[in-house]
Amino acid sequence: TSFNVPPSGICFVPSGGSIDGGDWSAHYEQTKPYDDESTLPEDMLFSFHTQNYTTKQMFVKAYRYFKSIGFPSLPKTFWTNSHFARVWSRDMICNPPAALDMRDGMDFRVKACAQLGMPDFELAHSLMAQVYYQYLYRQQPLLFREPASSSVSEAIANVFAHLSTNPHYLYSQKLVNSSHLDIKDSLIINRLYKEALENFAKLPFDIVADEWRYEQFEGKIPPGKINDRWWELRTKYEGVRAPQPYNSSNVDALMHSAISQVHSPATRGLISYVVQFQILKAMCPPETVLSEGCILSEDTTEKLRETMMKGSSITWLKALELITGKAELDPTPLLEYFEPLADWLRNTNEIDQTILGWDGDGTLFTAEEIPKPRTGMDGGSGILSEDRVAFPGGVCANGQECLLDSHCNGTICVCNEGLFTLELGSTVNCVPGNPADSGFGDGKGGLVIGLFSSETTSHPEPEPTTTTKAPTTSAKSAAPFFFTASSIIIGITVYLLH
């Protein structure tokens, strides 16, 4: 049996794990270099909970970080006018989170629906960097109260998001313990590999989008060849093809928001990605290993602050020159950042005799030649359909998997041993403690839960909700339910960067 994936040739777009083929991170778990996983996100979340953090306190922590490296104080209105978490009492558009300049020179805000955790801790530092950019150029004439370029602004924000997860910084803030200071090489390579799948693999698409768009604007693409040219460019730069024979009269490019919705050059994302590593390299001490990050100081951010004060009165190349000393894009820091991963890939590909590139003859893999995933994940376990699962109180007589701390007694899903069954209307929940002991009891073994008007009403009180302790007899729990990604058999070897 042959699979429609060649070891050296053009693979079809969905094999990357996303509809546009730009984000390959869906394959991380099955292809990650090492089994080791960092516990940094879990340990940070634990610290947030044990120290009673709120989402606002994550922004306060970011603010104090910026103050410590030479940035000025923000107006008090920043804290009173900003929204750091979802406000359920009003309509609120959560995405995208944003830093807002109200254009009066004093009112600067953040709008975010942040939650406690490492991702939004990074977001807090990213948004604070954008706020400070706006605040520092506030003295400029209104025409110049913009970043030198959206790419520069995004790059600066990404630099501080990256530095916010530096273990030495987190340790100094008492968010992780000292065990995270000794970073294992395997953890660094895994992290870089995941970043490459998420971000680095997208860069060729930015080139495709703009080259195709400008060829179309300039009339270089003959009528009837618009779709053909789109897939020619995607094959040339990305090594992907359409998932099925396409119709030349269609315009598949319009499925991408970068083409149909975002009316600005897509390459600004590529530029931003390259520039962020140039800025990181310029601000970190010379001996810094870029993949590990660094601790900044007031001196190292001086040029950055001076550049931010100029707003859009200078070009983005001039801004880049003021910060880094070079008025040109330089991918060297980016390559330095990914050097540990690149070295590992070179060694592993040589050992495995991996075929690189997509200029082969397109010969397909056979079933015996399919490379095995490098992790112990079992492919093909699939995701159970809705009719194959049941919740507490639900029918499981036909072999459904019982979820949420329940098991099947042969007929319905009942709570596991040691849990209480809480029935609210038609909903059944399994809870660890007896709610009747928490002040809701009616004195008869039931609960009194309802909504009551402050005025006298003729409606009768609701019937108390009953709680029962799950029986202690040995009822075997159902097998744990695991949501795993469907097996995606790919023949272009395990390492998807090539």
* Contact between 108 and 131 (Cβ < 8 Å): yes
CA distances from 388 to 320, 383, 406, 487 (A): 57, 10, 15, 19
Angstrom distances, CA of residue 281 to CA of 89, 165, 296, 336:
44, 16, 11, 9
- Asked whether the beta carbons of 494 and 447 are under 8 A apart, the reply is no
Which helix (H) or strand (E) segment is 467 a member of? strand 465-469
Dist. CA 413–CA 397, nearest whole Å: 9
218 appears as a binding residue in the annotation: no
CA angle 221, 224, 228 (to 5 degrees): 70
Asked whether 278 and 48 are in contact (CB, 8 A), the reply is no
User: Exposed (0-12), middle (13-18) or buried (19+): which is 113, by Cβ within 10 Å?
Assistant: middle
Rg (CA), the chain: 28
- 268 labelled ligand-binding: yes
Q: Are strands 406-408 and 108-111 parallel, antiparallel or unpaired?
A: unpaired
Write the DSSP string, 162-221: HHTT-HHHHHHTTSS-GGGSS--HHHHHHHHHHHHHHTGGGHHHHHHHHHHHHHHHTT-S
Angle subtended at Cα 190 by Cα 188 and Cα 196, rounded to the nearest 5 degrees: 100
Please, are residues 487 and 379 in contact by the beta-carbon 8 Å criterion?
yes
> Which residue ranges make up the annotated binding site?
154, 268
Query: What are the binding residues for Zn(2+)?
Result: 154
Binding residue positions for chloride: 268
